[in-house]
């Protein structure tokens, strides 16, 4: 995510904000959530629930759109026509995910323009992972395998999030993400089984993307200001640490199966927990990237702002066309 510092403001709904809510409606809302019924756009909801959803869904949408950049710049350099066609389709899918998610956020009363402005001005965040550079073709494998793999781990439980439009968007997104994860693993597997130089490239990409992928799940639970309320309102179904642990447990055997080494000397199977113990994440690095100090944060935002400016004529033409068509329909 970009330039916005982590802070406690606007995190938990303040007691005063919640006290302003109608207690009867609030109790009915909480009972619906507790019964696992979806909340729909026209249903009554507490303001803090609406705000939390707008924050999370719009950040999620921004991540999909900014996430097109690291892979997009490898489309012309993909090593074969097949790889190029697959990568093109994948990057296009990410654009589609962003659009479903912006549409889901719009049902909460925010506009696309407001969300885009928040991204471009640095008020809204997007995932830290997209502020790292893609140096070699092996990075495209690592992104699909690890970044999409982490995204699926986080997004599968979001199919049961309490807000209906977000949950339904996630169902389709998860299907596509699982194809993305497989295409990335297949690239990495091919490189790992290739020449010594190709295997070295695959290992180097794993070395650079492993820790940033673990950071995608967010701060540790005891330092995650939004988690408790989001879990209570069933916006989040599992905590950051639970999902991170599951990702490690699933991914380590995948690395071993293709002869790669996870770059963590503390990684060790824990018989009692039936899970891997793993080393300390560099949280200083995470918070620096959240503050906008990621290696390619400025390039990413400049690219988005330029794309938005360059696309102005398309938006204007589409609006002019819609106005003309509506005028014609009204005349008929």
Query: Tokens 């699982």 correspond to what residue?
Result: 178
The token duo for 246 is 């599951």
Of the pair 147, 202, the CB lying nearest ligand BYC is at: 147
- 147 is a contact residue toward ligand BYC (CB under 6 A): yes
From the CB of 205, what's the least distance to ligand BYC, in Å? 14
* Radius of gyration of the chain measured on its C-alpha atoms: 21
Stretch that binds ligand BYC, among 3-11, 27-35, 270-278, 299-307 (CB under 6 A): 3-11
Q: Which residues pair with 270 in a beta bridge?
A: 275
CA 288 and chain centroid, separation? 18
Stretch that binds ligand BYC, among 29-37, 59-67, 201-209, 291-299 (CB under 6 A): 59-67
C-alpha 246/C-alpha 276 separation (Å) is 9
Stretch that binds ligand BYC, among 31-39, 221-229, 262-270, 324-332 (CB under 6 A): 221-229
- 290 is a contact residue toward ligand BYC (CB under 6 A): yes
Residue nearest to ligand BYC (CB): 67
- 161 is a contact residue toward ligand BYC (CB under 6 A): no
From the CB of 54, what's the least distance to ligand BYC, in Å? 10
| 15 and 305 Cβ atoms separated by less than 8 Å | no
Exactly one of 94, 106, 139, 264 binds ligand BYC (CB under 6 A); that residue is: 94
Q: Read out DSSP for 124-190?
A: S---GGGGS---SHHHHHHIIIIIHHHHHHHHTGGGG-SBHHHHHHHHHHHHHHHHHHHHHHHHHHH
From the CB of 158, what's the least distance to ligand BYC, in Å? 7
Of the pair 67, 165, the CB lying nearest ligand BYC is at: 67
Binding mask 18-57 for ligand BYC (x = CB under 6 A): -------------------------------------xx-
Of the pair 123, 325, the CB lying nearest ligand BYC is at: 123
* Residue-wise burial string across 200-234, b where 16 or more C-beta atoms lie within 10 A, e elsewhere: ebbbbbbebbbebbbbbbbbeeeebebbebbeebb
Q: Which of 203, 178, 200 is nearest to 255 (CA)?
A: 203
Q: Kind and range of the H or E element at 15?
A: helix 15-19
DSSP state of 39: B
Of the pair 4, 200, the CB lying nearest ligand BYC is at: 4
Exactly one of 46, 49, 63, 118 binds ligand BYC (CB under 6 A); that residue is: 63
Q: Return the half-sphere exposure (C-beta side, CA atoms, 13 A cut-off) of residue 292.
A: 15
The length of the chain, given as a count of residues: 332
Exactly one of 21, 64, 139, 264 binds ligand BYC (CB under 6 A); that residue is: 64
- 181 is a contact residue toward ligand BYC (CB under 6 A): no
- 151 is a contact residue toward ligand BYC (CB under 6 A): yes
Binding-site ranges for ligand BYC (CB under 6 A): 1, 4, 6, 11, 55-56, 59-60, 63-64, 67, 94, 125, 127-128, 143, 147-148, 151, 154, 215-219, 224-227, 230, 236, 240, 290
């Amino acid at each position: 995510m970009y330039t916005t510092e982590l802070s406690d403001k606007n995190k938990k709904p303040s007691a005063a904000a919640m006290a302003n809510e109608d207690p009867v409606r609030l109790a009915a809302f909480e009972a619906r959530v507790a019964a696992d019924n979806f909340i729909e756009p026209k249903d009554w909801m507490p303001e803090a629930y609406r705000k939390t959803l707008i924050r999370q869904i719009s950040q999620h949408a921004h991540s999909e759109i900014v996430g097109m950049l690291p892979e997009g710049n490898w489309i012309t350099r993909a090593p074969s026509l097949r790889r190029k066609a697959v990568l093109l389709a994948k990057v296009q899918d990410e654009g589609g995910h962003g659009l479903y998610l912006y549409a889901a956020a719009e049902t909460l009363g925010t506009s696309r323009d407001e969300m885009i402005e928040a991204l471009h001005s640095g008020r809204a965040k997007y995932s830290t992972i997209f502020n790292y550079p893609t140096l070699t073709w092996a990075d495209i494998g690592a992104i699909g395998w690890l970044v999409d793999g982490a995204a699926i781990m986080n997004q599968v439980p979001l199919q049961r999030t309490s807000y209906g439009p977000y949950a339904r968007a996630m169902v389709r997104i998860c299907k596509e993400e699982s194809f993305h994860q497989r295409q990335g693993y297949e690239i990495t597997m091919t490189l790992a089984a290739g020449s010594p130089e190709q295997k070295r490239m695959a290992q180097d990409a794993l070395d650079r993307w492993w820790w940033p992928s673990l950071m995608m799940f967010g701060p540790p639970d005891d330092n995650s200001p939004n988690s408790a309320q989001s879990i209570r309102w069933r916006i989040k179904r599992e905590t950051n640490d639970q999902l991170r642990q599951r990702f490690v447990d699933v991914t380590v055997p995948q690395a071993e199966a293709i002869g790669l080494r996870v770059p963590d000397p503390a990684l060790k199977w824990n018989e009692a927990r039936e899970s891997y113990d793993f080393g300390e994440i560099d949280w200083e690095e995470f918070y620096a990237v959240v503050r906008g100090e990621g290696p390619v944060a400025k390039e990413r935002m400049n690219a988005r702002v330029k794309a938005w400016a360059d696309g102005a004529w398309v938006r204007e033409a589409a609006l002019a066309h819609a106005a003309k068509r509506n005028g014609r329909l009204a005349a008929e």
